[in-house]
């Protein structure tokens, strides 16, 4: 029964408040998710993101339709927020997003995802595949965020 951790760090050449605002807009999730996942928010929009807010969405993992429901379980603008899956293909999914300003006025954005696979301990045998997919999704996300939030000329 293993809790797995995915950590990512990205420096974005924009002020922290602006970067936080981008990630706090649930509509941007569709923009930064690989298109083949067919990610769609099904909650009425715009969603007022705050502590206790719920977000429902659907996607396809390996062609299998999945519904997902998250709750914003931590909310401290413009420093951090946490979304926790209430319904997902994972036994546990807790995603902490943090935003710090560095000495150059850039934003250091970090993702810390703590997750557990279903059917432990047998499910952990497939962790190599799950980790590969998560790395692909978060790599895509970082590239897309860099393009969208590149410094204005």
Q: What is the pLDDT of residues 87-121, one digit of tens each?
A: 999 999 999 999 999 999 999 999 999 999 998 87
Task: Give mean pLDDT, residues 67-74.
Answer: 97
pLDDT at residue 153, as a whole number: 57
* Percentage with pLDDT > 90 across the chain: 82
Band the pLDDT of 80: cuts 50, 70, 90. very high
The dihedral formed by the CA atoms of 96, 101, 106 and 110, expressed in degrees to the nearest 10: -20
**Nearest Cα residue to 67 out of 82, 80, 54, 53:** 54
For the chain, the farthest-separated pair of C-alpha atoms sits apart, in whole angstroms, at 51
Extract the tokens encoding 120. Answer: 């432990």
Rounded distance between C-alpha atoms, residue 3 and residue 101, angstroms: 29
Rounded distance between C-alpha atoms, residue 30 and residue 79, angstroms: 22
The full set of domain ranges for the chain reads 4-148
Dihedral sign computed on CA atoms, order 45, 71, 86, 39 = positive
Rounded distance between C-alpha atoms, residue 22 and residue 4, angstroms: 27
31 pLDDT higher than 60: yes
pLDDT at residue 101, as a whole number: 96
What is the pTM (predicted TM-score) of this model?
Answer: 0.92
pLDDT at residue 1, as a whole number: 59
Task: Give mean pLDDT, residues 63-72.
Answer: 95
pLDDT at residue 124, as a whole number: 80
CATH of domain 4-148: 3.30.530.20
Per residue in 118-140, pLDDT (tens digit) is: 988 777 888 888 999 999 999 99
pLDDT at residue 125, as a whole number: 80
């Amino acid at each position: 029964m293993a809790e797995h951790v995915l950590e990512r760090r990205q420096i974005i050449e924009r002020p922290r408040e602006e970067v936080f605002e981008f990630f706090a807009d649930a509509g941007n999730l569709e923009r930064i998710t690989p298109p083949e996942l067919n990610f769609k928010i099904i909650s009425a929009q715009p969603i007022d993101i705050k502590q206790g807010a719920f977000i429902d969405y659907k996607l396809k993992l390996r062609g299998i339709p999945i519904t997902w429901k998250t709750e914003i379980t931590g909310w401290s603008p413009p420093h951090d927020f946490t979304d926790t899956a209430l319904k997902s293909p994972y036994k546990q999914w807790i995603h902490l997003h943090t935003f710090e300003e560095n000495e150059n006025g850039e934003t250091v954005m970090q993702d810390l995802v703590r997750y557990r696979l279903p059917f432990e301990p047998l499910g952990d045998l497939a962790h190599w595949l799950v980790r590969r997919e998560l790395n692909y999704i978060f790599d895509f996300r970082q590239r897309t965020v860099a393009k969208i939030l590149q410094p204005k000329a």
